[in-house]
Structure formats: C-alpha cells, structure tokens
A and B are shown apart, each in its own frame.
Chain A
Amino acid sequence: MLKSDRRELEYFALMKRAKELPISDNRQLRVAILADVSTQHLTPLLRALFAGNGVTVHIYEAGFDTVELEALDPNSGLYSFDPEVVVILQSLGKLKANYYDFPADPASFVASKATHIEQVWKAIRARSGAPIIQSTFVLPYERPFGNYGNAGVNTLHGAASDLNREICLRARANPGVLINDVDYLAAWVGRRHFIDEKLWSVSKSLCALELMPDVAQNVVDIALATQGRTVKCVVLDLDNTLWGGVVGDEGLDGIELGDRDETGTFRSFQLYLRELGRRGILLAVCSKNDESVARRVFQEHPGMVLREADIAVFIANWDDKATNIRRIREKLNIGFDSMVFLDDNPFERNLVRQLLPEVIVPELSEDPELYVRTISELNLFEVASHSELDLQRAALYRDQEERALESSRFVNLDDYLKSLETRARVARFEPRELGRIAQLLQRSNQFNLTTRRHSEAECEAMMRDEEAYFPFSISVRDRFGDFGLINLVILRHSGTVLEIDTFVMSCRVLQRGVEQLAMNKIFEYARRVGCDRVIGRYIPSPKNGMVKSFYAQFGFERLSGDDAEGLLWSLKPSDYVEREVYITEGHSLAEQAA
C-alpha cells in the first residue's frame, strides 16, 4: 500500500532501489507470474514495492507466453515453486491475434475465451491453494467501427469489453480468483499514454515503462490483501475535512454543509465515506473539539450524511492526534498499518507520520473537491474476499462500545459475563461459511497460534475429509449484538494423537470465555474419538505474541522436541480440567434471524 502519494511510483527510482534492497528478516512471499507479455521490467518493481511494505518477495517468472502450459502441466515449474500468489498478466496484443484468427462465429469468441481463462484458473486451483490475480484486457484504441465499436457484437472493442466483464463475473464465482483491473489503470492515465507500440514491438512490454510501476503497485496491493494486509479503519478529522469551517468558532449553523455547502463538495465526500463504511471499513473520528459540540453536528445538522451510528469510535478532545489514534487502535484491536488518517491540516498529518509511521496518511489536496480523487489514486481499499459479515462490522464494534460502558457498571467480571447472555453455535465447517472462514484465516494476526493461511479451497478439502480432520467454527452473539463467526479450530488426526493445526480467534471477543469454550470442545472431541494426546503448536510471528502462553494457561506442557515449525505443547485428555464458561450453546440461524 502506498503511504502518502503517487510520487512513490517513479520507474527509474524504483529500478535503482530494487538493486539495493537490503537483506532483511522480512516476511517472505512466493509470487509466480504467468504472462503473455515480457515480465523482466515488472519483477524488479515488484521487489522494490513489496520491500516498501516489509515483504521480501521471491518471484517465479514463467517463460514468455506459457500461461496455459504452466497451468495445465502438473510437473511445471509453477507447481514445484509452490507459489503463495499466482499473477496472470494478459495483453490485448495476444487477444487481438486470437480474435482475428478465431475460426468460428465471432459472436462466440467471448464465451470461448472466457471459458479458456476459467479452465486455467481451475487447473491452478486444483493443484495449488494460492489465490490467482487475473488481469483484465486493456481495451483497444483502433476504431474500424467508429463509436459503434463498443456497441457491436462482432468488433474487437466489443469483444474485449465483454470479455473483461465476463472475467469479472466468473471470478466472483471462483473462490480465490481476484481481478487486477489493468484496463482501469490504462483508462485512468489514458490509453494513449499507457499503450506503447514501440516497446511492445521491441520487447513485448505490456505498457509504457513509466506506467509499469502502476501495474506493479496494483499487483502488490491485491497480493497484500490476500495475505491479510488490508485497511480496516479510516480515521477522520472533522473541521475542514468532513465540513467546511470550524464548528467550535462558527457554530452549528455556520459551517459549510448542506445548504451552505453550495457545491455539494462535503456531501459527496461523506457519501464516499459512508460507502466505505457499508463495505466494512470502520470509520472513526479524531477531532480537536469539545465532544458535545462535535457530536451535535452528527446528531442535529440536516446536511450530515454520516451519523453517529456510522462511527465506530468517536474521539473529540484536545489531546494530540497521535495519542488519540493510539486509543482508537486499542479500542478496535487492529494494527496501525491497517489504519488510514485523513486530515486537511498538514501539521496533524506530519505529526501522525512522525509519531506513528505505520499509519497511512494520504497527502490530501488543499481543495476538498479533490479529496476523493487523492484517496482513490492510492488504491487503499483492496478486498481479498467479500463476505456479508463485513457489512455488519461497524455496527458490531459500536455494540462493543456499549458493552464496555456496561462493564464499568459491574464490579465482578463473572457477573458481567453472565449478564451478557452470550450464546454460541459450535459446528463443523459448513459450505456456506467457507467464505467467512477463509477471510478470518487471512485476516487474523494476533490471536492466531500458527498463522497458517489456509485458502478457501483447502478449508473445503478439510471440511470434506472426515477421516483426517475435525475443523470447527464458533459463532457468537449476545444481548447487544451478533458477532458472527469469530473462532476457528482445525484438528488433525495422526494415529491416536490429535494436533491443533489452527486456532484462530477474532480479538473482538477476547475475555468472553470463547477460547475456553473452544478448548472444552477440543477435549470433548478428543475423548469421544479416543485420542490419548492433544498437541498444540505455537509458531511465533511478529504479531501473535499475545498467545505465546496460550497452551500453558490450559495446563499443556512444553514438549522438548520442538521442531522447525514452532513450539510444541502436549496434554492428555484425562488431565484436562474443563473450564467454566458463561455461554449458552446452540443458537440456531433461525433464532439469529429473529
């Protein structure tokens, strides 16, 4: 993800940086690139841009124009490389040749080509759990049919345009396939700048060199998202950001908003932010104001699009913004690197950049009219898989604030937990939940014992393999709201030993007894199937320090034989003491709906 603005994307500077990358103990990532264009100019850029995000990338460059060969041959270099991400980059050049040589009715070209592409995805997904990043085709500029080109069925333009749409639709139906919308990039900068006939002719280059960094950055953004690196929260300043003027000085009726926002600038900015909220990005307020004055605008001003209900955490006081952003982060239990801070004031932006360098701070334009453009150019809101639960997240964290308020009224924690009337549903993985399951596996960093990023396809395989696996999830709700599916455990049999392959929990439900419930379930199952030992594994990562003593706390003992993959813990089912939890089991979906 870009941290500030697009000046970070300069071809020659990046090429230079790629040569000087220091050796580091960064997170490693294996990325394979299959392309019908040359990739030699792209790979150094990927190295530099991934490194800028703390990732050391290992790249497998398949031979020129061998997409199908690599995908369909089980013994290809692609599979022996064992990629974690597969990038497929396809160009109009090849498509054009295909189109003009197509033997059948041109009208069937799109379906035929789309099916071809889909078969490549399926071949890869059958042999690898890696997500696939598929490019769209840059639409042609030639217009043998004039403006009719895009309307025509039997035109290259129409075919490329339909094919792009078809690829996107099919990607939605193929879990693990994500779109790299190269045509969007080309259209944004202008196809006349993007397409470079000479470079195509000399070296089969996808585009002009100066725009290659944009393509690389797009790939980096999507790949990071598949690894759980996404923006989760946007922190908003108020005065001169959400509205014009200073509400503390000019009063509720004095600020530029509604009727006084003649150009509708702030209204359209707020609509954009609300859309982010609906998408599952949490919105937080961080403002230098008296809280009551700031909240009143949200409560009473008729021109406000955003309301208090859209804001997950609302902080308005006179402390410095870095301190307040730390507070927001604590409340939401997310990483600084998943936060974006929007403020019109350069002083505040620089303060936050200095004190919290991981936070993304876009260099907002002085003209509020350009806020949305500036933010959009950074492409901060990549999605790795879309699940409905995202839509409910803002509401969920807000419920949590109420819960926190409630907890201050109770002296005794047990009394408080009982009063929440928490109910849980424990179930073996189910097909309809696989999307959410995969998402939780990709996103959870802190309460994650092994950080194994099993893909949706792998989860599905484990779900079906009743011999070797017992993978289960826990969904939780209480009287304040529905948390949804927030805990995952994957148990694997090896003889009479049961290993906890994966134990992941959303940090939103810490200290509620959910992990105790899950552990009770693990041992209940171990006894039922007659296992004589349960093995837990802790693989340390930069973010999961909070669970390093997790197994100790349940009475597990360290095994001396730790292997390369972390620390091993063991406990006999007969020695496990069942934990007391204040959770009622077995709410059904019908109840949830009611």
Chain B
Amino acid sequence: MTRAEINHKLGGVLQQVFDNPSLVFADTTTANDVEGWDSVMHVSVIVAVEKAFGVRFSTKEVKSLANVGDFVRLIEKRAQ
C-alpha cells in the first residue's frame, strides 16, 4: 500500500468517524484542527482505523501520535 493510498483511505475513515464528508486532512493536521476530535473521539478514531486497515497499534504508539502524518507513517509501518 503506497503512502498516497493510505492517505486516501485514512481520509475516508476519518470522514466517516466524524460524520463529515467534507473534512480534508494534511500531514500536519492535528486533533486541535478538527472540530470534535477530543480524547473520547480519539479512541473511536483508533478503533475505526485499526478495523479498516486490519492492524493493531500498541498503547505507546497510540499515545505518541502528534498529527495525521504520524498516523499515516504508523499505518504504513504496521501494514507492511
């Protein structure tokens, strides 16, 4: 899976979780930039992404994510 494919799919998953098809994400997007992305939503995001990509993240990985770019790199690493 290429970085671009991951980007595209992740965008779709996030749009679904936040129930907003017009959301756009860049690598530098952080939770603060997205309305409603609080700690509760973050848990939903993690679970939805794990399900969509068929991967499991560790607790440490989940806690260390700073922005969407980190997320993409993490998925890339796990999905290998």
Interface of A with B (CB < 8 Å)? 11-12, 15-16, 19, 38, 40-41, 197-199, 201-203, 205, 208-210
Contact = CB atoms under 8 A, between A and B. Distances in A.
Contact of B59 (A11, A12, A198): A198
B62 A198 contact: yes
Interface string B31-53: 00000000110111011100000
A19 B43 contact: no
Contacts of B57: 198
Contact of B43 (A12, A16, A197, A202): A202
B19 A199 contact: no
A41 B43 contact: yes
A16 B41 CA distance: 12
A41 B47 CA distance: 12
- A-B residue pairs, 3 tightest by C-beta: A40-B40, A201-B59, A198-B59
A197 B46 CA distance: 14
Nearest to B63: A202
A275 to B, nearest CB: 38
B80 interface: no
A38 B63 CA distance: 17
B43 A209 contact: yes
A554 B19 CA distance: 58
Contact of B40 (A19, A198, A203): A203
Contacts of B58: 198
B14 to A, nearest CB: 13
Query: SS class of chain B's interface: helix, strand, loop or mixed?
Result: helix
B6 interface: no
Given A201-B59, A202-B62, A210-B47, A12 B17 contact: yes
Nearest to B62: A202
A197 B59 CA distance: 8
Contacts of B48: 12
B51 to A, nearest CB: 8
Most chain B CB inside 10 Å of its own CB: which residue of A16, A198, A201: A198
A198 B64 CA distance: 13
B44 A15 contact: yes
Q: State which size class the interface on B falls in.
A: 10 to 19
B19 A16 contact: yes
A31 B31 CA distance: 31
Nearest to A208: B47
Given A19-B19, A41-B40, 9 more contacts: A12-B16, A12-B44, A15-B44, A198-B59, A202-B62, A203-B39, A203-B40, A205-B43, A208-B47
Nearest to A210: B47
A202 B59 CA distance: 7
Contacts of A205: 43
Contacts of A203: 39-40, 42-43
Nearest to B36: A19
B58 to A, nearest CB: 7
A210 B44 CA distance: 10
A198 B46 CA distance: 10
B72 to A, nearest CB: 20
A37 to B, nearest CB: 12
Contacts of B43: 41, 199, 202-203, 205, 209
A383 B19 CA distance: 38
A500 B33 CA distance: 59
Contacts of B17: 12
A366 B28 CA distance: 53
Contacts of B40: 38, 40-41, 203
B59 A209 contact: no
A369 B63 CA distance: 47
Contacts of B47: 11, 199, 208-210
B5 to A, nearest CB: 22
13 contacts: A12-B17, A15-B44, A16-B19, A19-B19, A38-B40, A198-B46, A199-B43, A199-B47, A202-B46, A203-B39, A203-B40, A208-B47, A210-B47
Contacts of A201: 59
B44 A209 contact: yes
A38 B48 CA distance: 19
A40 B31 CA distance: 18
A16 B21 CA distance: 14
Contacts of B16: 12
A203 B42 CA distance: 9
A459 B57 CA distance: 54
Nearest to A197: B59
Contacts of A198: 46, 57-59, 62
Contacts of A202: 42-43, 46, 59, 62-63
A41 B41 CA distance: 9
B52 to A, nearest CB: 11
A590 B40 CA distance: 61
A40 B57 CA distance: 22
Nearest to A209: B47
A40 B62 CA distance: 19
Contacts of B59: 197-198, 201-202
A379 B47 CA distance: 27
B18 to A, nearest CB: 10
Contacts of A12: 16-17, 44, 48
Contacts of B42: 202-203
A460 to B, nearest CB: 41
A41 B45 CA distance: 12
Nearest to B48: A12
A188 to B, nearest CB: 21
A203 B48 CA distance: 16
